[in-house]
């Protein structure tokens, strides 16, 4: 995890924020086990939500339905939506009774006003360009007193192409180097960097204040914030203690709960 100088980013002329082009790879990844989704995100989300039987939940940008299926087990009534028809096809293949739709997060044409008690968006907002439009649409479909819960890569510590791990040999300290934070950025991400002509997606970096301002602009107030760390540990070696300490101190993910202002 040592710091290494960054290469000049390759400019790309076109790209997509959808993960449809890597749907097969993503589905296989989730089946491997011991992923962040399984070991960090899912238990924390279920604890934070405390879903009630019969609660109407919209899984926004649901992908292939990994989380939606777990919410169904908790007794909630689940609807899933994603912009990728490939991922929605994978979700429907499970035939679990969940309603799935293909639509952008900014235009949920299938959903009536005030339809859901809870709207969730897990690790997807970084792939959506128009954040204010998403939040306004979420507010439209939420019931009075409903909640919007989002999980994002931690905006202060996981900044694509502008953050990295470093190691201080003198003091034996693992640290996080941040080369930029406040400036927003549109970043092309190669899904398989080692392959020629590999599919790529687009990610958007935003500061924490960008999220808060967009929520406020849509009529939301943040009611809860949590930061979640990695569950992994390093192999035995001279840097093991320092690396494991850094994992416990520097969170990977941030969860925000917001409710509509009265």
The CATH number assigned to the domain holding 226 equals 3.40.50.150
* SS3 (DSSP) at 151: strand
**Does residue 14 form part of some domain?**
no
Torsion sign over Cα 126, 129, 131, 133: negative
Residues 168 and 137: their CA atoms lie apart, in Å, by 46
Low-confidence ranges of the chain (pLDDT < 50): 1-15, 17, 19
Which tokens belong to 110? 């299938």
Residue 75: inside a domain: yes
Question: What is the average pLDDT score of the chain?
Answer: 88
For residue 3, tell me if it sits in a domain: no
Range of the domain at 76: 20-260
Instruction: Specify whether the CB–CB gap between 228 and 253 falls below 8 A.
Output: yes
Query: Residue 8: inside a domain, yes or no?
Result: no
Residue 6 falls inside a structural domain: no
Q: Is residue 229 part of a domain?
A: yes
Q: What is the pLDDT of residues 200-236, one digit of tens each?
A: 788 999 999 999 999 999 999 999 999 999 999 999 9
What is the pTM assigned to this prediction? 0.85
Residue 184 lies in a domain: yes
Q: Is residue 13 part of a domain?
A: no
Exposed, middle or buried: residue 218 (CB in 10 Å: 0-12, 13-18, 19+)? buried
Number of Cβ within a 10 Å radius of residue 96: 14
H-helix or E-strand spanning residue 246 = helix 240-249
Number of domains in the chain: 1
């Amino acid at each position: 995890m040592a710091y290494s100088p960054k290469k000049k980013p390759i400019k790309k002329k076109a790209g997509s924020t959808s993960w449809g082009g890597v749907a097969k790879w993503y589905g296989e990844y989730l089946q491997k086990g011991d992923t962040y989704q399984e070991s960090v995100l899912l238990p924390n989300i279920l604890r934070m939500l405390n879903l009630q039987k019969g609660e109407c939940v919209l899984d926004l940008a649901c992908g292939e339905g990994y989380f939606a299926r777990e919410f169904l087990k908790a007794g909630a009534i689940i609807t899933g939506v994603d912009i990728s028809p490939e991922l929605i096809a994978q979700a429907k293949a499970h035939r679990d009774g969940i309603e799935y739709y293909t639509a952008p997060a900014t235009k949920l044409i299938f959903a009536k006003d005030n339809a859901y008690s809870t709207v969730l968006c897990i690790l997807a907002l970084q792939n959506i360009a128009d954040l204010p439009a998403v939040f306004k649409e979420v507010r439209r479909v939420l019931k009075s007193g409903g909640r919007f819960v989002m999980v994002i890569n931690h905006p202060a510590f996981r900044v694509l192409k502008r953050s990295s791990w470093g190691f201080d040999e003198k003091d034996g300290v693992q640290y996080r180097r941040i080369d930029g934070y406040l400036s927003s950025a549109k970043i092309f991400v190669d899904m398989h960097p080692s392959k020629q002509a590999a599919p790529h997606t687009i990610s958007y970096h935003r500061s924490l204040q960008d999220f808060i301002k967009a929520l406020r602009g849509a009529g939301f107030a943040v009611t809860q914030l949590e930061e979640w760390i990695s569950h992994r540990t390093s192999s035995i070696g001279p840097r093991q203690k320092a690396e494991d300490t850094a994992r416990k101190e520097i969170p990977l993910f941030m969860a925000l709960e917001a409710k509509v202002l009265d």
